Amino acid sequence: MSAYLVACRYALLALAKNRLAAVLLIAFIPLWITVAKTLTTPRTFPFRLRATGTWLRAGGDEITMISGSLNAVSLLVGFLMFSAARRTRAFDRRLTASGYPRAALAGAKLTTLLIASALVSTYATAWMLLFWSPLQPFLLGIAVLAICLVYGAMGMCLALFLRGEVEGLVTIIMTSIIDLAPQNPVASTAADRALVALLPGYGSLQTSLAAGFTRNTTLSPLIHSAVWLTAMTTTALAAFALRTRNHRPPRRRRPPS
């Protein structure tokens, strides 16, 4: 237990020292939400909520603000966890080679993911509530938390396979764009097609739209988020275990006397 607590403390300290992430959190998320809300047309758009099959009507500015917020938090948490996992990669190998328990390090990484996702999702949801009054604000916060967890786990996973921060940042940016742009009912005519259900942000966006414009508690889309989170986390932990396992040299046979 003490090894886990020590690992958590150092993991959180390393996360807090990321000044770029702090600047992005403080400035980027409010700016993105403000631009999406104020510069997008407030004209009402009809769209079909694919998770329930019901038709809804909502302002284009509100729909774009939801999509933009999910895009912003996915980029931030994905990059934050990628950067933290990449910087501690070599140190983790040295620790485990010295006998530090891998389970404690893995648990600390998962705890860091949860704390970072909770902080970013709460901050982003609070900013959205300054501009808009969704019908189910708590469910909206859960949806934002879900995409933070998915992209944070994705960042941890990518850190084990990509060498530099530029590669990781570009990969996360392109993934988020490809993920959320086709799902925006205002910008895409394919937002209700079957293929969008395979995208990592599907559960969060569908749940956010349901939270904003209906009074029905729609949790079934979050199953998609749980599947993506499980797949990314399992891959990251499996790769971490393989990268940090101890390779003991074979024992030398004693020469015959």
**Mind listing the pLDDT tens digit for each residue in 12-62?**
887 877 777 778 788 888 888 888 888 888 888 888 888 888 888 888 889
DSSP line for 181-204: GGG-TTT-TTTTSGGGGGSTTHHH
Full domain range(s) for residue 13: 2-243
pLDDT at 132 over 60: yes
In a domain, 40, yes or no: yes
In a domain, 99, yes or no: yes
Residues 189-239 have pLDDT tens digits of 666 677 888 899 999 999 999 999 998 888 889 999 999 999 999 998 888
The percentage of residues in the chain with a pLDDT greater than 90, rounded to a whole number, is: 36
In a domain, 130, yes or no: yes
In a domain, 113, yes or no: yes
The pTM of this model reads: 0.90
Q: What is the pLDDT of residue 250?
A: 47
In a domain, 204, yes or no: yes
In a domain, 180, yes or no: yes
pLDDT at 247 over 60: no
Query: How many domains is the chain partitioned into structurally?
Result: 1
In a domain, 230, yes or no: yes
In a domain, 16, yes or no: yes
